[in-house]
A and B are shown apart, each in its own frame.
Chain A
Amino acid sequence: MKKALVWFDLPKRWTILQQLQFEETVLRCSNKNSFVFKHGTPQPTIVMGFSAKPAELIDIDAVKRDNILVLRRYTGGGTVIVDHNSVFTSWIMNSSDANTSPFPREIMAWSETMFKPVFDGCLDPASADKFILREHDYVIGDKKIAGNAQTITKDRWVHHTSFLWDYDNHNMSYLSIPKKRPEYRANRDHNDFLRRLKPILVGDVAHFRQQLLRKTQEHYDVEVIDKEDDIEAFRHAVVAEKPDALQIRTKIETF
Chain B
Amino acid sequence: MFRSTLRCANTFATVAKQRSFLSTIKYSASHEYIKVDGNTGIVGITKHAADALGDVVFVDLPSVGAKFAAGASFGSVESVKAASDVYSPVAGEVLAVNSELEGNPGKVNESPLSEGWFIKLKIDNVKDLDKLLDEAGYKKHLEETAH
Binding site for B on A (CB under 8 A): 49-51, 74-78, 99-108, 136, 148-154, 180
* Beyond known contacts A51-B78, A100-B147, A107-B82: 7 more, CB 8 A cutoff: A51-B58, A74-B83, A76-B81, A150-B83, A151-B84, A152-B85, A154-B85
Judging by beta carbons under 8 Å apart, are B57 and A154 in contact? no
Binding site for A on B (CB under 8 A): 30, 49, 52-54, 57-58, 60, 73, 76, 78-85, 87, 145-147
Q: Can you name the residue of chain A whose Cβ is closest to the Cβ of B71?
A: A154
Judging by beta carbons under 8 Å apart, are A136 and B81 in contact? yes
Judging by beta carbons under 8 Å apart, are A102 and B84 in contact? yes
Which residues does chain A contribute within 8 Å of B58, judged by CB atoms? 50-51, 76
Judging by beta carbons under 8 Å apart, are A104 and B78 in contact? no
Q: Can you name the residue of chain A whose Cβ is closest to the Cβ of B78?
A: A76
Q: Can you name the residue of chain B whose Cβ is closest to the Cβ of A149?
A: B81
User: Can you spell out 20 A-B residue pairs with CB atoms less than 8 angstroms apart?
Assistant: A49-B83, A50-B60, A50-B83, A51-B60, A76-B57, A77-B82, A102-B30, A103-B49, A103-B82, A103-B84, A104-B54, A107-B82, A108-B81, A136-B80, A148-B81, A149-B81, A152-B82, A152-B84, A154-B85, A154-B87
In the bound complex, what is the Cα–Cα distance between A75 and B78 (angstroms)?
A: 9
Which residues does chain A contribute within 8 Å of B54, judged by CB atoms? 104-105
Chain A nearest CB: distance from B104 CB in Å?
14
Which residues does chain A contribute within 8 Å of B84, judged by CB atoms? 102-104, 151-153
In the bound complex, what is the Cα–Cα distance between A106 and B84 (angstroms)?
A: 14
The verdict on A104 contacting B79 (CB below 8 Å), with A153-B85, A154-B87 known, is: yes
In the bound complex, what is the Cα–Cα distance between A96 and B85 (angstroms)?
A: 17
The verdict on A101 contacting B80 (CB below 8 Å), with A51-B58, A153-B85, A180-B57 known, is: no
Judging by beta carbons under 8 Å apart, are A152 and B87 in contact? no
Which residues does chain A contribute within 8 Å of B82, judged by CB atoms? 75-77, 103-104, 107, 149-152
In the bound complex, what is the Cα–Cα distance between A101 and B60 (angstroms)?
A: 22
Chain A nearest CB: distance from B142 CB in Å?
10
The verdict on A154 contacting B30 (CB below 8 Å), with A50-B58, A103-B52 known, is: yes
Chain A nearest CB: distance from B90 CB in Å?
16
Most chain B C-beta atoms within 10 Å of own C-beta, residue among A50, A75, A148, A180? A50
